[in-house]
Amino acid sequence: MRGYTLEWILDTHPHADHFSGAGYLSERTGVPTAIGAKVVDVQKLWKGIYNLPLSFPADGSQWHRLFSDGERFKIGNMDVEVLFTPGHTLASIAYVTGDAAFIHDTLFMPDGGTARADFPGGSASALWKSIQRILALPDETRLFTGHDYRPGDRKPAWESTVAQQKAENIHVTKAMTEEEFVALREGRDRELPMPKLILHSLQVNIRGGRLPEPESNGKRYLKIPLDALEGARWDE
């Protein structure tokens, strides 16, 4: 054991491709959770898609704290700044501390390009602006991404720098303008299948990583809105 103390459970966005463990971890550790304040817009959007009851609180109250753009907080003696970086979702945020930035699903490793922007509420144009904001950080800033798809079956990687992304990212170097990037990103998104668990996971993640409340028979249910998203598989 290294003697570390857990202080925060930080979400970057409501995930469409996997279930968040934030609620599970918080309930077992007593540590507060946090996410970007725009999560309320995501909740309202998906509340309609799932036809959730009016009583469902689409106000972000499932997290202990909602961060606004530019807000600062502490992890131990480290100062952390929140950057609003939408595009992949309406609510995406990055965390910047010292010479490191945790940039979730915006930029991948340079040979992986950029994140998709075709989920409900996503925007390739907004993603372009968010990427430019990240690339405006000092060149030596270390960038930690949320996924690595390992092109060419190379070894897993998770860290790059702003300078590397500017020089090597396959989408950043190919699309030099917002118009070019939007065309590239939207064209690529049209070729991608929807994540298998998108319809399952979002209804958990907009609850801060918690399962729906039990119904009158004491059982919990995941709702699968058939044909809500083109290409989203519900039968696997």
Which pLDDT value is given to residue 2? Answer: 79
- Digitized pLDDT (tens) for each residue of the chain, 236 residues in all: 578 899 999 999 999 888 999 999 999 999 999 999 999 999 999 999 999 988 999 999 999 999 999 999 999 999 999 999 999 999 999 999 999 999 999 999 999 999 999 999 999 999 999 999 999 999 999 999 999 989 999 999 999 999 999 999 999 999 999 999 999 999 999 999 988 889 999 999 999 999 998 989 999 999 888 877 776 665 55
The contacts of residue 48 (CB under 8 Å, 6+ apart) are: none
SS3 146: coil
Q: Which of 223, 200, 229, 198 is nearest to 53 (CA)?
A: 223
Q: What is the pLDDT of residue 236?
A: 56
Q: Where are the beta strands (DSSP E) in the chain?
A: 9-10, 33-36, 65-67, 72-75, 78-84, 93-97, 100-104, 142-145, 159-161
- pLDDT value of residue 196: 85
Q: Could you tell me the pTM of the whole model? A: 0.92
C-alpha torsion sign, points 190, 195, 199, 204: negative
Model pLDDT, residue 16:
87
